[in-house]
Each structure stands twice: as C-alpha cells, then as structure tokens.
Amino acid sequence: MRFLLPLAILLHISFMLFGQKQKPTIINEIIIEGNDKTHAKILHRELTFEEGDTIVDLSAEINQSKKNLLNTRLFHYAYINIIRHKHLANIIVKVQERWYLWPIPVFEYADYNLASWLRRKEIDYLNYGIILEERNFRGLNEKLKLKIRMGIREQYGINYAFPRLFNHPDIGGNIDVSYFRQKEIHQSIVDQRYVDIEQDRYIFREGRLIAGIRWRPEFFYSHFFYGGFRKYRYHQNINTLFEEPAKHNLEYLAIGYTFKFFKGDYIMYPLKGNKLKVTTEYGFGSADYLFTDLAFSSHYPIRPKFTLTYGFNGYASLTKQYPHFLYSGPGKTWYIRGFEDYIYHKDLLINNRLQLKYTLLKKKRFNFDWIPSKKFNAPFLSIFLNTFFEAGYGTNINGSPAEVTPVSIGAGIDFLTYYDWIGRFEVAQNNNKEIFFNVHWGYIF
C-alpha cells in the first residue's frame, strides 16, 4: 500500500503534463490598424486565421501571420496583439507601412555583378537613367514600374504586377513590355571571359512582350504560367557570334513556368526555413530552345546566433543555345563565389553551397525623431559574419563534354537594413589559386 501514494502522484503529474489538451480559442474579431494606404483585404490574405475560426495553438498562428505580413515587403514592422475574453479572442493587427512611390535614379554597373564591374576598371561601363516605381499601387500590393535607362544596355519599358485578378485573392498576374538597344555587345567567350565588340551605331535591338498568370493557392508557394513574344535583331555587319555565323533577325514565341516556395522567417535574408525557385522555358520560332534554372536553399539554426545553410543551383539546357542572349543560369542569373568573372556557357552546370553564419548584431532598431516621416525615422541594422565553401560541376550534354569543376572557399560580412538593402563584402579563393575581394548587393541565397 505504501507504493500506491507515489504511484498516484506520478499518474497525476503525467496527466497534468500530457493528458490535458490546450483549450481552443475562437476568433471573435480582427481589427486592422496602421494601413493608411493598404487595403485591409491585402492584410487578411496573409493571416492564417479568419473571424469565426477555432484555433488550438493561437501563438503559432500569430507568429506565422507576422512572418507572412513582413514577407509581402509592404511593411517595416507588424505587431499582432490578443484581447481575450474567456474562450473568445479579439485580434489587433498593427502595421507600419513603407514608402511606396520611388523615383529611382538608375546608376548601375553593366556587368552581371558588382565585383566583376569593379575589376573591369572601365568606369563608363554603366547604365544610367530613371525608374518610376509604385510598389503598392492603388493600395492593392500591385507594382507599377516605368523604366528609362541609357548607357551600355538601353531600356525603355513598363511592368505591371498585380496579386488579385478579378478580385480573386489567389490569382494574379504580370505584364512586361520592354525595348532594348546596344552599341556594345558580347561577341565571344575566351578563357571564360566575355570578349565585347563596340561600334558607333546600334548593333543590337531587342523587343519583348511577356504576360502571365500567378496562382498562389497557399501561403508558402505559388505557380506562374507565362508566355509571350521575343524579337532580336543584329546589325548586318555582325558576322559571327560565339563562334557561329550570326543570325541577324530572330523571332520567338515563348512559354514558361516558374514555381516558388518559401517557408521561413524572412524571405530576403532567411536564417531559418527553406526556399526554392524553379523556372522552365520553351521557345520556338527561328530556333527551338528549352532550359531549366533551379535555386534551392535550406537554413538551419544550429546554435544561438549560428545558422548553417546549404544551397544548390542548377541549370540545364536540352538544346544548344545560340545566340547567347537566350542563355540563362551561371554567370547571368546566378554566379559561383570566387568565379564572378567567369562565364561558363555549359549545357549543364550545378553548384553546391555550404555556409556557416554568425549573427554579430541582431536586428537593432534606431529612432531618429528629427526625421518627420515614420516611413524613414526608425531604421534597423543587422550584421552577420560568414564563412563558405562552394563546389560546382559543368559539362555539355549536346556536344563535346568540356568539363569544369569550380571550387572556392571564403569568408565575408553582410549588412542588412531598411527596405531590404543588403550589402556583402567577401574574400574568396578559387581552385585556380586566384584570390578575390568582392563587393555585392543582395543576398546569395
């Protein structure tokens, strides 16, 4: 009998720890505050709950909803508070909106990345002009962009992206109309570097009309189906391009598909979660082409302040891609660190990235009361140290293999601040025994 009392106590503790279920909460009312311009339905689309829902783990739902709101890139900060009354809960969502209308002077390097432009040592190898961009057009998370750009690659274009088609919360679209012209173009690749040709007349012109439908059935992924028309024209005095006879007038109809997935903390600079983007495009007309471009990364916190990241990039072309402007992938849409200057025009190229990141300064907020606008007077700064290792492999599947195996190691420091501005300073050594100090904008993953 003396064992019955301890046994009863143990059973009682077990029931208290494991036997009780969390009481569900009913969402009574959702109140939106701070959305001076943004329509409330745009915020409601990012919440994982609605009025009348019965929620078991409300804290988890609120945490995910805050991430969803911030990843729209419409708000600096998002706060969600709960007012409880027995089993009912009123939810107060308060956001601080960003500045949305941007007249942006264009003064950009014409290379595919900043590090390569700095090493080119040609200060006039630039594009310049102006962009007028409304990032929350009509308060509906629509993006309207007008672009006039001069310099190496002139561009005149308009782009309109909208998340709600016929007021449907899950279906949106995108329309892009652009015209380009150049007096200087890439003509060949020698030792994995571009060789350019320049004349005093326009020797290349490009026009495109691309439109698509975006379907976002869930919070974490979306599908984009697109199609359009592309037209390219080279001047008659251009005889060869990338060791092939030049084709002066080319026209293509293109269809494509892009799948995006992200589930993590901050889409522009994730420290936790998974990210995936896959694009496949098929074009037919003057010649057929088909390619797939893939980017994946997984971010895992291993200890406080430490994040281990694995990334994978892959590019495959099932058709030999000439002329070169149809080429996507390494050296153009992504690059291997330590090989920023290299152009690998391969039918198949993959790259593995491994990175260890240390949070030197967690998101620190500053208050500048002397700035009258709330959209600019509370910036933040985060600083991260990292070390990385990258290993790639490339070959041709439509001809002579010509294999390449780029490998690099390095370290760097990243700065993250207001309006998704990311600056990276890195030193990298590759297996060609070259050491580079690189400066980049934007995140590598």
pLDDT on residue 44: 95
Beta-carbon-side half-sphere exposure of residue 88 (alpha carbons within 13 Å): 7
Q: In what order do the strands lie in the sheet with 54-55?
A: 54-55, 25-33, 88-97, 75-85
Mean pLDDT of 126-142: 89
Q: Where are the domains of the chain?
A: 24-97, 101-441
Q: What is the pLDDT of residues 209-222, one digit of tens each?
A: 999 999 999 999 99
Same fold, 24-97 and 101-441: no
User: What pLDDT does residue 19 have?
Assistant: 46
The residue that leads in pLDDT, 440 or 281, is: 281
Mean residue pLDDT of the chain comes to 86
Whether 124 has a pLDDT exceeding 70, the answer reads no
Convert the pLDDT of each residue in 99-122 to its tens digit.
998 887 766 655 556 556 566 666
Residue 7 has pLDDT above 80, yes or no: no
Q: Identify the pLDDT of residue 331.
A: 61
Give me the mean pLDDT over the 35-44 stretch: 95
Is the pTM higher than 0.75? The answer reads yes
| pLDDT category of residue 5 using cuts at 50, 70 and 90 | low
* Mean pLDDT, range 46-74, rounded to an integer: 93
Query: Within a 13 Å sphere around the CA of 155, how many CA atoms are in the beta-carbon half?
Result: 22
Q: Please tell me the predicted confidence (pLDDT) of residue 134.
A: 94
Task: Write down the pLDDT at residue 343.
Answer: 78
Higher per-residue pLDDT: 336 or 108: 336
pLDDT at 296 exceeding the cut of 90: yes
pLDDT at 415 over 70: yes
The segment with the largest mean pLDDT, out of 98-112, 331-345, 382-396, is 382-396
CATH class of 101-441: mainly beta
Indicate the range of 36-45, 133-142, 170-179, 181-190 predicted with least confidence.
181-190
Q: Which of 56-60, 299-303, 347-351 has the highest mean pLDDT?
A: 299-303
Q: Considering only 116-120, 162-166, 342-346, 357-361, which range has the smallest mean pLDDT? A: 116-120
pLDDT of residue 17: 47
pLDDT given at position 77: 92
pLDDT at residue 18, as a whole number: 47
Residue 159 pLDDT > 90, yes or no?
Answer: yes
pLDDT classification of 438: cutoffs 50, 70, 90: confident
- Region 381-386 average pLDDT: 96
Q: For residue 308, what are the CA distances in angstroms to 128, 260, 298, 416? A: 38, 22, 8, 18
With a cut of 60, say whether residue 252 has pLDDT above it: yes
Q: What was the pLDDT predicted at 339?
A: 87
State residue 113 phi and psi, 5-degree precision. Answer: -150, 160
Residue with tokens 């009361």: 369
Q: Hey, what amino acid is at 229? A: F
Assess whether pLDDT exceeds 70 at residue 62: yes
Distance CA 158, CA 179 (A): 10
Per-residue pLDDT band at 322 (split at 50, 70, 90)? low
pLDDT band (50, 70, 90) for residue 15: very low
Q: What is the CATH superfamily name and number for domain 24-97?
A: membrane protein fhac (3.10.20.310)
Question: According to the model, what pLDDT value does residue 442 have?
Answer: 78
State yes or no: pLDDT of 152 exceeds 50. yes
Residue 217: is the preceding peptide bond cis (ω within 30°)?
no
CA distance 239 to 294: 34
**pLDDT for 324 beyond 90:** no
Where is pLDDT greater, at 7 or 175? 175
3-class SS string, the chain: CCCHHHHHHHHHHHHHHHHCCCCCEEEEEEEEECCCCCCHHHHHCCCCCCCCCEECCHHHHHHHHHHHHHCCCCEEEEEEEEEEECCEEEEEEEEEECCCEEEEEEEEECCCCHHHHHHHCCCCCEEEEEEEEEEEECCCCEEEEEEEEEECCEEEEEEEEECCECCECCEEEEEEEEEEEECEEEEEEECCEEEEEECCCCCEEEEEEEEEEEECCCCCEEEEEEEEEEEEEECCCCCEECCEECCCEEEEEEEEEEEEEEEECCCCCCCCEEEEEEEEEEEEECCCEEEEEEEEEEEEEEECCEEEEEEEEEEEECCCCCCHHHCCCECCCECCCCCCCCCCCCCEEEEEEEEEEEEEEEEEECCCCCCCCCCCCCCEEEEEEEEEEEEEEEECCCCCCCCECCEEEEEEEEEEEHHHEEEEEEEEEECCCCEEEEEEECCCC
Q: What is the mean pLDDT of residues 356-365?
A: 94
Q: Which residue from 184, 124, 121, 190 is spatially nearest to 342, judged by alpha carbons?
A: 190
Q: Which pLDDT tens digit goes with each residue over 172-212?
A: 999 999 999 988 888 887 877 778 888 889 999 999 999 99
Cβ contact 145:158 at 8 Å: yes
